[in-house]
Structure 1
Amino acid sequence: MIPSLATRGKLVLTTAALMIIVGAFRGAPPLVGMGGGVLVALLAAYLAFFPTAVLLRRKKIELSWWVPPGDQPGGALAPERPFQLHIAYRNHGSRTLRVLSTKVLTGRGLDVSPCVPATVGAGRQVEHTTDVRPAVAGYQVLHGAVLVLGDLLNLFEVHAYFPNPIAVKVFPRPRPAVAPALKLAAGVNSEHVGQHQVRRRGL
């Protein structure tokens, strides 16, 4: 769990390197100094964000989730009917954490909507909900989640995997009730059922 450069951080690093290279070739010390200053600021931002990785190693960050009963009879879950997944982030550390994204790892039978970013203060808990759409019936498993934590300037990020499997059972859709067909009396031919004209011969 070592912090790495985010997209913005890579752009800043590339810009600083170009400033130093161009300044060195053209003999422009101010440009080289500006590039060096950007690198120093980037290094300072890295050192300020590094304790977040330490919190992850010390397991100061927790993730839990649960699925409430569905809207079907008995609280059952049905295919193609989205249900809510409640996600809770707990921060037991002394620093504010910024959760940039949460990727829920599931099988092919579940389609999870993107989770919104969250800011979790020191010693706080933040809860969010996201929609999950089951595609087929059967047992489906939410294996875990990958959290991406970032700094305030979005220069660095660290990825953390939280294994937290939870199984949900998706029931097939109930079929519409069909009225049972009338059964004919045993031993009676269908041709003899109903009204018939009877002729009687007189004496």
Structure 2
Amino acid sequence: MSVPTSLKVALPTVAVPSAAGASYLVFFKEGEVKDSLKTLVTKEGKRVLLDVSNDNHDNIWSEIAKEYKSNNSITAKGISKEAADKEQVKNYCRTTASLTDVNLLNTYRDLCSRSTLRDQVNLDLKSKNKSWFTSTNTSDWQSLKDAYGSGDGESLLIPKEGQASATVTKTDITPELLMKWCSSISSNLYLNLEDQNYKIASFNCTK
């Protein structure tokens, strides 16, 4: 279907390696008031905007700064390519959030928002035809329960509720426990491939 000439079209693509493969369409009618970058990302509904007013997401800001330094395909005003840190990234996001220049949308999205753990796992395992398992029927979790603590997942055990330093053993795991943990962590923000929750979820929460 052709796009009317009265519309301006931008086709931004995500530049952060962890979100590769995502693409977006942004349409504007001539003369209309454009949404801010922050509003556009919110309307897309694909990623979560990070908090710039406190330290709630500082571990993720630091990870984004590391990704920025190693990713030659993205540059941003005010962020050093050699010495980027979380404060530089947060300040960039704070000062650009209200801008309406769609040419900055890729960069703003990459640096100022993050995928949920579930969405990132789905993206990373798409090539293996696996995705986050969301069934609320406990019997559907039996095969994941049976695989728990075995093979490559021998050390990928979920934490006991309220005891972050203790894990649920293979003999103690139940479909209910597995389903509950996977559901509870699905909306957490993705940190990186080495994050223990990412590894545990990729093995135990997907089919």
TM-score range, shorter chain: under 0.3
Structure whose residues are more often strand by fraction: 1
Q: TM-score, normalised by structure 2?
A: 0.25
- The structure number with the bigger radius of gyration is 1
Structure whose residues are more often helix by fraction: 2
